[in-house]
Amino acid sequence: MSQDQNKMWGGRFAAGPDAIMEAINASIGFDRRMAAQDIEGSRAHAQMLAAVGIISDTDADAIREGLLTVLSEIEGGTFQFSIALEDIHMNVEARLKDLIGEPAGRLHTARSRNDQVATDFKLWVRDQMDAAIEGIDALMRAFVDQADAGADWVMPGFTHLQTAQPVTWGHHMLAYVEMLARDKSRFEDARRRMNTSPLGAAALAGTGFAIDREMTAQALRFDRPAANSLDAVSDRDFALEFLSCASICAMHLSRFAEELVIWSSAQFKFVTLSDRFSTGSSIMPQKKNPDAAELIRAKIGRIFGANVALMTVMKGLPLTYSKDMQEDKEQVFDAADNLMLALAAMTGMVTDMTANKDALRAAAASGFSTATDLADWLVRTLGMPFREAHHVTGSLVALAESRDVDLPELTLVEMQSVHADINESVFDVLTVENSVRSRTSFGGTAPENVRAEVKRWKGLL
């Protein structure tokens, strides 16, 4: 490629990069996704340059209108991207020159590609944070609706994937609402922190032109200009925070995806997933596979990987800009795409899934799930120290196991053979319904608590 093919290089180089250098150096293959943000930033910059008298109003108007034409071409699919022009910034500027001529050359006054790309990328990531917050809201509403429908449905609560104590379906659904609320707050917090404008930091040291950075910051809906020009062009914390927030959120999605895989199995039968989010087997006609849940569980690894990859890119870079930082975008783009896809798919699955109330109840009543209730009854009714009550309950569980029955199926005589003071009222606490109703402590699984939380979340959402 000759120097004439890329005037953007200026007079520094006698010849342009060869084909290999061109391929490794170019980012237009992926950073074209920031076209709308690039044009928005350039329009704000041109307006500011005219407002402070650095360029004429006539040139600024031509630039702004020309940029709208470029955006229309890109959105319409008629724009011809050139790898020789390296990136979205040069592609846009070159096309602008074709459209309006000499005024296009004034657009880059008092800025650099360093502050330009930092601004574009921040705007793009900020848009993705907003989209993630909206997606999380939708998923939270789906979980709240499930909780509302099954506020008093009894199911087993697990530790170590072993039956522990009865809980309610609604309480289990609301656990994910709490997780997602933290995810949402992390994105909101990161968004507030990132919302400073790099534009006007120029290459790294600021500019000698009398620009108005407050004006461009306000036009681009930033809270204020970034305070240090060195940091402004070298900062990618906002991308790392996005990936960190996305990774934690993705982990929560993967946890529920795993539960759906287990719950929809023939062994559990806790839920039935809709046909929209399941597939059949090519050879086994009875199969209904939870493919969407499994794919969410797998795609999460790409988001985790993006987080590690960008941390690795940034960890050894001296101030300010290094070309390594061009490797920031593909990771973030891929993670954002997969997070939004996972959120949408999970929202669909949660909305459509049907809980098998009878299977949930049967599972809740198995595995000696009310053993803790029995121990608590021994403490409350017989005044027994908890450690002794724990021992007595263990003996009763062993007795039930030897009889191949559950605790409520033991006779009073059998119970009294372990401890003579046990009386008939013990059976009041051994049903799973009574167990969950008794858990009225703040944050507990009692249906009345679930309904109160559903009401609170509906108000918040």
Which residues are the active-site residues? 160, 281
CA 310 to chain centre: 17
CA 23 to chain centre: 32
- How far lies 351's CA from each of 125, 138, 293, in Å? 28, 10, 13
- How far lies 434's CA from each of 167, 175, 275, in Å? 11, 21, 36
State how far the Cα of 406 lies from the Cα of 361, in Å rounded to an integer.
Answer: 14
Token pair, residue 441, equals 């402590």
State how far the Cα of 434 lies from the Cα of 374, in Å rounded to an integer.
Answer: 12
Token pair, residue 404, equals 């191949």
Residue whose C-alpha is closest to residue 47's, from 67, 31, 33: 67
Q: Which residues contact 20 (CB under 8 A, 6 or more apart)?
A: none
Residue whose C-alpha is closest to residue 93's, from 81, 82, 104: 104
Query: Which long-range CB contacts under 8 A does 373-381 form with residues at least 24 apart?
Result: 373/165, 373/429, 373/430, 373/434, 373/435, 373/438, 374/407, 374/426, 374/429, 374/430, 376/429, 377/425, 377/426, 377/429, 378/419, 378/422, 381/423, 381/425, 381/426
Look at the alpha carbons of 223, 227, 229, 234 in this order and tell me if their dihedral is positive or negative.
negative
Q: Which residues contact 347 (CB under 8 A, 6 or more apart)?
A: 135, 138, 139, 142
Residue whose C-alpha is closest to residue 429's, from 407, 445, 448: 407
Residue located via tokens 């940034």: 314
Q: Return the percent helix, strand and coil in the chain, to nearest 5.
A: 65, 5, 30
Token pair, residue 36, equals 């709308």
State how far the Cα of 22 lies from the Cα of 9, in Å rounded to an integer.
Answer: 13
State how far the Cα of 379 lies from the Cα of 421, in Å rounded to an integer.
Answer: 12
